[in-house]
Amino acid sequence: MKRRVFYGIWSLVTLLQAACIAGGFVLARLAHTRAGVNHHVAARKWKYNELLFRGAPLLALQVLAVVLTVVLLVLLVRALRRGGGFRAVLALESLAAAGMVLAYLTVPALKAVGIYPYAVLLAAIVLILALLAQFAGGRVRPNYP
């Protein structure tokens, strides 16, 4: 893959990540100002807390997030040992996104956030986009012959 194509993909992925985070902020603000949005968010929070975010499903999600975080930490160390550069930045970005998902799944204070299920979903989308960028970055060929 050419570097220009990769940088275009990386720019698009970064813009999508920023849009997801901005959407979370907009949803949080609307949940505090609009009664209908607040009702919808509260109903979804109750539904997902009953189905996904307690007991065995939550434990499975936490274990998956911990394993993914450890794997991404190993990839970051590997990228730093090979000279760092942009691959290390991609690995650090993926590790930060995995840490965000892990924090939302494990820290009890974050479960009190009104848009908790949406925050977990947005964090997972940001993580998937970061992994996509890291995968595309691994396909970039060096310029030397």
Query: Average pLDDT of 15-33?
Result: 91
pLDDT in tens, 80-123: 888 777 788 888 889 999 999 999 999 989 888 888 899 999 99
Q: Report d(CA 75, CA 82) in Å as an integer.
A: 11
**pLDDT for the residue numbered 142:** 55
DSSP string of 77-136, one letter each residue: HHHHHTT-THHHHHHHHHHHHHHHHHHHHH-GGGGGSTTHHHHHHHHHHHHHHHHHHHHH
- List the one residue out of 82, 77, 125 whose CA is nearest residue 100: 125
pLDDT at 145: 45
pLDDT for res 141: 58
List, for residues 45-72, the tens digit of each pLDDT value.
899 888 888 889 999 999 999 999 999 9
